[in-house]
Structure 1
Amino acid sequence: MTSVLPAVPTAAEDETAVLPPVSGGSLLESERVAAWFGSRKVLEDISLRMESGQVTALIGPSGCGKSTFLRILNRMHELVPSASLAGKVLLDGDDIYEPERRITDTRKRIGMVFQKPNPFPAMSISENVTAGLKLTGTRVGGSEKRELIEECLTKAGLWKEVRDRLGQPGGALSGGQQQRLCIARSLAVRPDVLLMDEPCSALDPTSTRRIEETIHELRREVTIVIVTHNMQQAARVSQSCAFFLAEQGTPGVIVEAGPTAQIFSTPEDPRTADYVEGRFG
């Protein structure tokens, strides 16, 4: 018989449970961000305001620095040995790159969902959801853990599909289900911001629709920034857009940013119109 969830821990373990309340999202801003890999400059003067309660879509052709910028937003860029950057990234007004700030604290507040689903294959579905708690040093008791697992899987649109097999391996799920499991895992640490790097690029239309529905629901609680090459998806899920472009070997810049409806219907820059209308990229 399949195990559903681990046994309830002792009262002493329950006393260590510490989880912050559900977040309403945070304001995320970049101020004149520039980035390099070695001597090659890949981004220049990126200033962008990503509002709480909104989905901000980063659009533009391949190679213009969108994913690099996304990784800068939760300090993954600095993991590359040759990488460097300038400028500021402000989370509710505080620079996440201040020397006294711990990188684990930043990653707890700013989660990431990658292009390819990456559940831990040896872990069960329930263990995958709570995996981030250990990495961030968050202790949760048994009853609260069960509630958290159900809550996060529900928010990720997966609970009804997996509630009777929580003890089975996360790697046995379909691609779309694995991606939603990764979203649930990110939500378990109560982030203020969720970054998504082309989360639907490897998924079928049905799974894509479910992920988009999940994004729509989640923006009530977390600020979402999504990289997508799908213009229809950007138009469907986002409230604001930033169009990135790198021309003729120059660093990536933001050509235009603003409300999604404006970017798609009445852009100010003709390059934006050319891109969203499919004339290049």
Structure 2
Amino acid sequence: MLAGLETREVSAWFGARKVLERVSLAMPAGEVTALIGPSGCGKSTYLRILNRMHEMVRGAALSGEVLLDGDDVYRPGRRPAEVRRRIGMVFQRPNPFPAMSIKDNVASGLKLAGIKVTRDEREHLVETSLRQAGLWDEVAGRLEAPGGSLSGGQQQRLCIARSLAVSPDILLMDEPCSALDPTSTRRVEETIAELRGQLTIVIVTHNMQQAQRVSQTCAFFLATHDTPGRIVEHGPTEQVFHHPRDQRTSDYVNGRFG
């Protein structure tokens, strides 16, 4: 059964500075939710709150609930490592272990998550994860090559495969194509489309065309110089882009500010 993710009244601070204000959002199971909005409006902070990476920053604090299948990931006694296994993260820039082989890069996710498998299970997971990430056909004959020998787009898909190896319920993606060329971007988007229905994906993107191509649900964040980030509007992607309820949403998606 696919897992859904929801936040209720989430606010966040870095020291005394409030960066998010009472964000409530449901991210439907098995769908892609895009988070859009100008730089500095709290999208990436919100994404990191979802798998408890926000609390790793000195002086960071938050309030509210983050519910994974109805269970708060911040409840007392819940282990952050277990949360991060179920809610994986792909970062803006590819971050494979450059000297480690392609195969070991994928399998490193298992070790980091403390998942013990047999040699045969490990081999199967490596292949399955690389296939899911759309990379298998390109690297099957050179699995012992260093991860750093791959192109930027391939390295990003390798990082996706590493995240998938631990069988997460949710995959968070923080501008995963911002450092990639158009061809690599297309391949990552194809991977996202193929993963839809297998797990729940939340992606931060500044590319409005990409948000429309890959997502089914969209949330528009906005902040001003004296107010923290908050959601102005959210709903089906088609509605947010073509029939927005708020004029600020219309202005942003049509390139009139931001």
Of 167, 191, 196, 1:190 maps to 167
Of 72, 81, 85, 2:62 maps to 85
Q: Does 1:69 align with 2:46?
A: yes
Q: Does 1:261 align with 2:238?
A: yes
Q: Does 1:158 align with 2:135?
A: yes
Deviations 1:185-227 (A, max 9, x none): 0000000000000000000000000000000011121100000
Distance in 1, matches of 2:226 and 2:205, equals: 22
Q: Gaps spanning 5+ residues in structure 1: where?
A: 1-23
Distance in 2, matches of 1:168 and 1:122, equals: 9
- State the SS of the aligned residue for 1:202: coil
Deviations 1:79-117 (A, max 9, x none): 001100000000000000011100110000000000000
Aligned twin of 2:151 = 174
Distance in 2, matches of 1:38 and 1:125, equals: 40
Of 205, 210, 215, 1:228 maps to 205
Of 204, 216, 224, 1:247 maps to 224
- State the SS of the aligned residue for 2:6: strand
Of 70, 74, 84, 1:97 maps to 74
- State the SS of the aligned residue for 1:121: coil
CA RMSD of aligned residues (A): 0.6
Distance in 1, matches of 2:124 and 2:31, equals: 27
Distance in 1, matches of 2:225 and 2:122, equals: 52
- State the SS of the aligned residue for 1:71: helix
Distance in 2, matches of 1:240 and 1:156, equals: 22
Aligned twin of 1:273 = 250
Equivalent position amino acid for 2:189 in 1: E
- State the SS of the aligned residue for 1:111: strand
Distance in 2, matches of 1:249 and 1:148, equals: 48
Q: Does 1:218 align with 2:195?
A: yes
Aligned twin of 2:4 = 27
Instruction: Tell me, yes or no, if the aligned pair for 1:70 and 1:197 is still in contact at 8 Å.
Output: yes
Aligned twin of 1:11 = none
Deviation at 1:280, TM superposition (A): 0.6
- State the SS of the aligned residue for 2:29: coil
Aligned twin of 1:207 = 184
Instruction: Tell me, yes or no, if the aligned pair for 1:25 and 1:193 is still in contact at 8 Å.
Output: no
Distance in 2, matches of 1:126 and 1:42, equals: 39
Q: Gaps spanning 5+ residues in structure 2: where?
A: none
Aligned twin of 2:99 = 122
Distance in 1, matches of 2:154 and 2:114, equals: 27
Deviation at 1:25, TM superposition (A): 3.1
Deviation at 1:145, TM superposition (A): 1.1
Percent identical pairs in the alignment equals 70
Distance in 1, matches of 2:36 and 2:55, equals: 23
Deviations 1:9-61 (A, max 9, x none): xxxxxxxxxxxxxxx53110000000000000000010000011110000000
Distance in 2, matches of 1:147 and 1:72, equals: 32
Distance in 1, matches of 2:111 and 2:125, equals: 14
Aligned twin of 2:214 = 237
Instruction: Tell me, yes or no, if the aligned pair for 1:156 and 1:180 is still in contact at 8 Å.
Output: yes
TM (normalized to structure 1)? Answer: 0.91
Distance in 2, matches of 1:210 and 1:87, equals: 36
- State the SS of the aligned residue for 1:176: helix
Deviation at 1:137, TM superposition (A): 1.0
Tell me how many residue pairs correspond in the alignment. 258
